[in-house]
């Protein structure tokens, strides 16, 4: 009997110990779980705050991009309208927009290119123009390119060439910028670049040998007329 009581007592002690350990573990688990829930709630709040801030920044960036796009287009449109108005509508709006955008791409004043095309076409802006016959041949299109010059300019730009393309106004305008960009980088100033465009590279050298400078009537007329535009700053 005494032995049975002793055995029951031991079992009771074991049960109490196990219950105590379980209670402690359960309490610790609940406390840890509560701490983790609280931490997660805090992180969720932080993430929500960051999401709101990111959404705000993205909306601000999108708004800025839209504003910049609007102002960029407004600037292009205003310049294009000036060219169309100056030409009495002979220089089409689509050509003018393309010219202004090309000017920005090449970092060349659009007014330099426009005035050059005006001089080259005798203020007609005729994309089908064929120039008079010279000892070097005839010049074609709005940019008045000769067949011995246009192919290597097109090659320099990485675009295809055909004689028919010289009568495409967009093609001619692009070649004009490519050639102007090349000449400006080659000589470093607009007088030499423009005189070389008009007379050829050999013709520029002959002109300078004879006159001591590159300030031809051609370069002066283009630069002076380009200065009439308020936004013109590139020519020197």
DSSP string of 128-141, one letter each residue? T-BPPPBTTB-EET
Task: Give percent of the chain with pLDDT exceeding 70.
Answer: 66
Q: What is the pLDDT of residue 128?
A: 97
Domain boundary among 39, 69, 86: 86
Residues 55 and 151 in one domain: no
CA 86 – CA 91 distance, rounded (Å) = 9
Residues 186 and 220 in one domain: yes
Q: Is residue 28 in a domain? A: yes
Q: Give per-residue pLDDT as tens, 121-161.
A: 999 999 999 999 988 889 999 999 999 999 999 999 999 99
User: How does 101-126 read in b/e, with b if 16+ C-beta sit within 10 Å?
Assistant: ebbeebebbbbbbbbbbbbbbeeebe
Q: What is the pLDDT of residue 56?
A: 47
**The two three-digit tokens of residue 225, written as one number:** 């007329």
In the numeric block, the tokens 């959404």 are attached to 55
Residues 130 and 221 in one domain: yes
Q: Give per-residue pLDDT as tens, 81-93.
A: 999 999 999 999 9
Identify the sign of the CA torsion 184, 223, 219, 73: positive
Residues 46 and 100 in one domain: no
223, 194 contact by CB (below 8 A)? yes
Nearest to 166 by CA among 200, 137, 130: 130
Q: How confident is the model at residue 69 (pLDDT cuts 50, 70, 90)?
A: low
Domain containing 22 equals: 1-86
Q: What is the pLDDT of residue 83?
A: 96
CA 25 – CA 47 distance, rounded (Å) = 32
Q: What is the pLDDT of residue 134?
A: 86
**The two three-digit tokens of residue 31, written as one number:** 């406390």
223, 235 contact by CB (below 8 A)? yes
Q: How many domains does the chain have?
A: 2
Please say if the pLDDT value at position 235 is more than 70: no
Residues 105 and 160 in one domain: yes
Q: Is residue 236 in a domain? A: no
Identify which has the larger pLDDT, 234 or 181. 181
Q: What is the pLDDT of residue 63?
A: 47
Residues 79 and 116 in one domain: no
Q: Is residue 73 in a domain? A: yes
pTM of the full structure: 0.69
CA 10 – CA 206 distance, rounded (Å) = 122
Task: Please state the rounded mean pLDDT for residues 185-201.
Answer: 95
Give how far Cα 99 sits from Cα of 7, 140, 177, Å: 105, 18, 9
**The two three-digit tokens of residue 37, written as one number:** 């829930």
Nearest to 174 by CA among 108, 222, 79, 218: 108
CA 122 – CA 45 distance, rounded (Å) = 71
Residue 116, domain CATH? 1.10.530.10
Q: Is residue 233 in a domain? A: no
Residues 209 and 95 in one domain: yes
Please say if the pLDDT value at position 20 is more than 80: no
Query: Please, what is the average pLDDT of the chain?
Result: 81
Q: Is residue 43 in a domain? A: yes
Q: Is residue 232 in a domain? A: no
Q: How confident is the model at residue 181 (pLDDT cuts 50, 70, 90)?
A: very high
């Amino acid at each position: 009997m005494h032995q049975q009581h002793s055995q029951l007592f031991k079992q009771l002690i074991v049960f109490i110990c196990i219950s105590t350990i379980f209670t402690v573990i359960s309490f610790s688990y609940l406390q840890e779980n509560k701490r983790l829930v609280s931490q997660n709630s805090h992180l969720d709040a932080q993430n929500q705050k960051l999401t709101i801030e990111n959404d705000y920044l993205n909306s601000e960036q999108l708004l800025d991009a839209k504003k910049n796009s609007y102002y960029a287009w407004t600037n292009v449109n205003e310049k294009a309208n000036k060219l169309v108005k100056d030409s009495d509508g002979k220089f089409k709006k689509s050509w003018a927009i393309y010219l202004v955008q090309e000017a920005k791409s090449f970092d060349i004043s659009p007014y330099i290119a426009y005035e050059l095309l005006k001089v080259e076409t005798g203020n007609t802006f005729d994309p089908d123009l064929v120039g008079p016959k010279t000892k070097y041949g005839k010049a074609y299109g709005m940019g008045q390119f000769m067949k011995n010059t246009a192919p290597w300019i097109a090659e320099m730009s990485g675009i295809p060439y055909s004689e028919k393309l010289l009568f495409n106004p967009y093609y001619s305008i692009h070649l004009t910028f490519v050639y102007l960009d090349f000449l400006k980088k080659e000589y470093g100033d607009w007088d030499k670049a423009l005189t070389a465009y008009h007379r050829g590279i050999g013709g520029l050298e002959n002109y300078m040998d004879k006159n001591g400078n590159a300030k031809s009537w051609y370069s002066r007329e283009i630069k002076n007329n380009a200065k009439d535009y308020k936004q013109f700053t590139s020519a020197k």
